[in-house]
Amino acid sequence: MIDGNNTSLGVQNLTYKDTLVYRNDSNVDRLTLKEKKVSEILKDYQRILFKTHFITPGENIAQVIKQYTGPHSKPGDIIFVSDKAVAISQNRVYKTEEIKPGFLARLLSRFVYKSPYGMGLRVPERMELAIKIAGPLKIIFAAVAAAVGKIFKVKGLFYKILGHEIRGIDGHEGRKPPYFNCIILPANHPHSVAAEIARETGREAIVADVNDLEGYITGYSSEDIKKINFREILRDNPMGQDDGCTPIGIIRPLFSKDAPVNENQ
């Protein structure tokens, strides 16, 4: 542990494998990635995470981010925030017990792939919300296409057809309140949110939906930063799952060189 009042002593020997986590008690933890988790692109960037309070509906996410990152941010930094945290601040949260899944939701949820990283739409209540958002016909079409795709060993057709609005339906399966047993929809207008964060903080920003299985950048504050391969920079999910409470972070370039171009983001 590094004393928050003397962080420079602990930070000076950082390597690209180290991720700083600023905690609420003003101390700093230093996490070192395992070799297998290290992406080559991380040699050009430092990640700094901020352990926050539980974001609540109605909070101004841009002001929350400024509060935590302001004392530590430098020119050239790029701020990233969890899509889930943004969605919660927008009150896109439903209690599972308040949703009554219909026959179609109960039926289709039985055929959803059981991922070791989470239940996803295997939860009938989440499938019910997906049906309400996309409509039953589109959901059925996507399900049939996915079934046919499996025959030809083509994976992921269901979510490719329905897009991030459905793929991003998530839930908090950790043990801590207040979002235990809740369903969280993707953030509304993430590009606008990223732009608002940039105006509030004076730094470029992205909204990221990342988990232990995959990651997507849902919002950019400007076109200029789209050339940076943020998906690869955040591939190991530094924000963590469930109860980590580190939904906000900084990506800091370590070298003054052109950012690597992202061809597939």
Each residue of 196-246: pLDDT tens digit? 999 999 999 999 998 867 789 999 999 999 999 999 899 888 887 655 678
Q: Is the pLDDT of residue 176 over 80?
A: no
Domains of the chain: total:
2
**Average pLDDT over the chain, rounded to an integer:** 82
Same domain, 132 and 84: no
pTM for the complete prediction? 0.82
Rounded mean pLDDT, 70-79: 94
> Which CATH number belongs to the domain containing residue 209 in this structure?
3.30.1330
Q: Is residue 258 part of a domain?
A: no
Q: What is the model's pLDDT at position 238?
A: 85
Query: Angle between the 61-69 and 190-201 helix axes, to the nearest 10 degrees?
Result: 40
Same domain, 19 and 142: no
Range of the domain at 29: 4-91+187-253
Q: Is residue 241 part of a domain?
A: yes
Cα–Cα distance measured from residue 5 to residue 8, given in angstroms and rounded to the nearest whole number: 9
The share of the chain scoring above pLDDT 70, in percent, equals 75
Same domain, 173 and 216: no
Q: Residue 245 in contact with residue 51, Cβ under 8 Å?
A: yes
Each residue of 3-40: pLDDT tens digit? 333 333 234 444 545 667 776 655 566 555 544 455 56
Which of 143, 165, 184 is at the close of a domain?
184
Same domain, 63 and 110: no
Same domain, 87 and 191: yes
Which of 164, 184, 204 is at the close of a domain?
184
* Cα separation of the two ends of the chain: 36
Same domain, 191 and 67: yes
